[in-house]
Chains A and B, each alone.
Chain A
Amino acid sequence: MERLKVNLCGIELDNPVIPASGTFGFGYEFAELYDINLLGTFSFKGTTRDARFGNPTPRIAECYAGMINAVGLQNPGVDKVIEEELPKLKKCFNKKVMANVSGFSIEDYAYTCERLDAIDQVGWLEVNVSCPNVHGGGMSFGTNPSAAAEVTKAVKAVTKKPVIVKLSPNVTDIVSIAKACEQAGADGISLINTMLGMRINLRTRKPVIANKMGGFSGPAIFPVAVRMVYQVANAVSVPVVGMGGVSTAEDVIEMMLAGATAVEVGAANLVNPYACRDIIADLPAVMDKYGIKNLSEIIGGVK
């Protein structure tokens, strides 16, 4: 449907809906449920240079209108992703996929991105400098403008694919970090990753999560995400991918009005595995309701 199309860093998407990294695996679990080719694209499970088991369990805690996770970037490592996961995905997904990459050093990021740059299936590199669940990596690059810029530069040097830097909300001034990434050559900015949170079990008086803290996501954080997308979109000229608690077609439109070119959907997939399919199906009617002819017209359209 023409009216849902958007262009993200030079690649046309049939619609702006993108399942967020860490909530959609490598796609094929969901392909058993519905044709995932109806998605704009999806961002695959955060991939690192080496295989990682992640954090001890429990890794999940429930909250009002959301959840905390502390998975800790469990993934088979970039080599296995390329050798095993992507060929499996190819059988059920014929669009370009967004490759989500994380690392523990500048060299890690560059290595992993260089490997993925060679893969035709990969359309964009989403560089995660914002994982709250690993120590000495991830978020430590995303909480400092110069460190975020350095990662961006290093990745840009090894790839011709568009680089979208994924930012953390757990900072004092997200705009300065977004600007630093843009100046370093980022082709897009995606935000927000999860907010650092914690729950305590009243009976045991221990944190619910083994890693004590984790990333808070779900509808509860949506207003924070809209605010930050708005701030960043007004400060940079590259496309912004908005995410954080998006669960409905209305949320997608609100996020786009705030300035998002495309919208990622995370925690909602875990509760309703059909969430993205349903959102895409609902979009035309919701657009009609609000007098929107084409979605691309409303990007940053908040008055």
Chain B
Amino acid sequence: MKQSIFTIKTNTPLTDNVYEMTLTGDTSDITAPGQFVNILIEGLFLRRPISVCDCEGDTLTLVYKVVGKGTEKMASMQEGQALDVLTGLGNGYDLSKAGKHALLLGGGVGVPPLYMLAKKLIENETTVDVVLGFNTKSEIFYEEQFKKLGANVTVTTVDGSYGEKGFVTSVIDNIDYTHFYTCGPEPMLKAVHKATKTSGQLSFEERMGCGFGACMGCSCKTLTGNKRICKEGPVLSKEEILWKD
């Protein structure tokens, strides 16, 4: 973990309520895709945890959805503004488990952390299939970005307004994958857990206090003991997950 000051380079909307922010600063503690950063926002007490979408040199890319006060303030931030950011938080995805053919499943604002993951896997010469799930056409983002990386991309929409109609789990039976990686809302993670036939890694979300393991605010029970989503997570392996209900 590192605390440092980042400078906003761009902050642009991708959809009605999803924004892409690029920042420059000391990214040396970001060591794995699936990690997150925790951002101090003026006027709010707690930092805001946002997953890392990409990290290249000193440039950090975050893609976030406006869901509350913190992300509303982020959406109005301007180029040149300085932000106090804790980096290198969470375990991130383990690339070594991927095998020859990785399946990446992202739902809504769970899509961003899969971008850096896809990039790293493709660099490792792993074949990557990405399924991006959204509710409707207007919510879709990053389809082209994943294609440019060289991933096989399928988009699903719940209402069928674009791509395949249905959920991310509707299209995976024909893909011959060796390991899966996913991030999205909990009902989706549960469905993915059930629908997948290989080992895999799932990234979870929880309300956090500190984001670095001190407050025990985001603990969960697993088959391998209690874990803090911010520290031993947010990525848990399929075999250890104990669903709350």
Verify if B190 is at the interface (C-beta below 8 Å from A): no
Q: Kindly specify which of A65-73, A113-121, A248-256 makes contact with the partner chain.
A: A65-73
Given A24-B214, A29-B212, A74-B216: A57 in contact with B206 (beta carbons within 8 A): yes
Kindly report which residue of chain B lies nearest to residue A27, judged by CB atoms.
B214
- Contact residues of A between 51 and 99, Cβ < 8 Å to B: 53-54, 56-67, 69, 71, 74
Residues of A within 8 A of B220 (CB): 57
Residues of A within 8 A of B218 (CB): 57, 59-60
Verify if A140 is at the interface (C-beta below 8 Å from B): no
Compute how far the CA of A30 lies from the CA of B214 in the bound complex, rounded to whole angstroms.
Answer: 8
Across the interface, B207 reaches (CB within 8 A) one of A33, A60, A271, A273, namely: A60
A67 near B206 with CB under 8 A, answer: no
* Chain A proximity mask over B207-241: 1 for CB below 8 Å, otherwise 0: 11110111111111100001000010000000000
A33 near B1 with CB under 8 A, answer: yes
Across the interface, B215 reaches (CB within 8 A) one of A32, A53, A218, A270, namely: A270
Verify if A23 is at the interface (C-beta below 8 Å from B): yes
Most buried by A among B86, B207, B216: B216
Decide if the interface of chain B is mainly helix, strand, loop or mixed.
loop
A54 near B1 with CB under 8 A, answer: no
Given A53-B226, A59-B218: A64 in contact with B212 (beta carbons within 8 A): no
B3 near A58 with CB under 8 A, answer: no
Classify chain A: how many residues form its interface, as a range: 20 to 34
Question: Considering only CB atoms and an 8 Å cut-off, how many residues of chain B contact the other chain?
Answer: 26
B45 near A25 with CB under 8 A, answer: no
B207 near A74 with CB under 8 A, answer: no
Verify if B44 is at the interface (C-beta below 8 Å from A): yes
Verify if A153 is at the interface (C-beta below 8 Å from B): no
B3 near A273 with CB under 8 A, answer: yes
Given A59-B207, A63-B45: A69 in contact with B214 (beta carbons within 8 A): no
Q: Give A132 Cβ to nearest chain B Cβ, in Å.
A: 15
Verify if B46 is at the interface (C-beta below 8 Å from A): yes
Verify if A269 is at the interface (C-beta below 8 Å from B): yes
Q: Give B86 Cβ to nearest chain A Cβ, in Å.
A: 7
Kindly report which residue of chain B lies nearest to residue A25, judged by CB atoms.
B214
A270 near B210 with CB under 8 A, answer: yes
B46 near A23 with CB under 8 A, answer: no
Compute how far the CA of A57 lies from the CA of B204 in the bound complex, rounded to whole angstroms.
Answer: 13
Residues of B within 8 A of A33 (CB): 1, 3
A218 near B207 with CB under 8 A, answer: no
B45 near A67 with CB under 8 A, answer: yes
Compute how far the CA of A155 lies from the CA of B206 in the bound complex, rounded to whole angstroms.
Answer: 37
Most buried by A among B3, B44, B46, B226: B46
- Contact residues of B between 123 and 174, Cβ < 8 Å to A: none
Q: Give B6 Cβ to nearest chain A Cβ, in Å.
A: 16
* Chain A proximity mask over B179-217: 1 for CB below 8 Å, otherwise 0: 000000000000000000000000000111110111111
Q: Give B242 Cβ to nearest chain A Cβ, in Å.
A: 11
Verify if A259 is at the interface (C-beta below 8 Å from B): no
* Chain A proximity mask over B33-60: 1 for CB below 8 Å, otherwise 0: 0000000100011110000000000000
B210 near A269 with CB under 8 A, answer: yes
A274 near B214 with CB under 8 A, answer: no
Residues of B within 8 A of A67 (CB): 45-46, 209
Across the interface, B1 reaches (CB within 8 A) one of A57, A58, A218, A273, namely: A273
Given A271-B40, A271-B46, A273-B86: A57 in contact with B207 (beta carbons within 8 A): yes
CB pairs A–B below 8 angstroms (29 shown):
A23-B214, A25-B216, A29-B212, A29-B231, A30-B214, A33-B3, A57-B207, A57-B217, A59-B216, A59-B219, A60-B46, A60-B208, A60-B215, A60-B218, A62-B45, A62-B46, A64-B45, A65-B45, A67-B45, A69-B215, A69-B217, A74-B219, A218-B45, A270-B46, A270-B214, A271-B210, A272-B40, A273-B1, A273-B3
Enumerate chain A interface residues (CB-CB to B < 8 A).
Answer: 22-25, 29-30, 32-33, 45, 53-54, 56-67, 69, 71, 74, 218, 267, 269-274
Known: A67-B46, A271-B210. 15 other contacts (CB 8 A): A23-B214, A29-B231, A45-B216, A53-B219, A57-B220, A58-B207, A60-B207, A65-B45, A67-B45, A71-B215, A270-B214, A272-B3, A273-B1, A273-B214, A274-B3
Sorted nearest first, the 7 A-B pairs with minimum C-beta distance are A270-B210, A60-B217, A58-B207, A74-B216, A60-B209, A60-B207, A59-B217
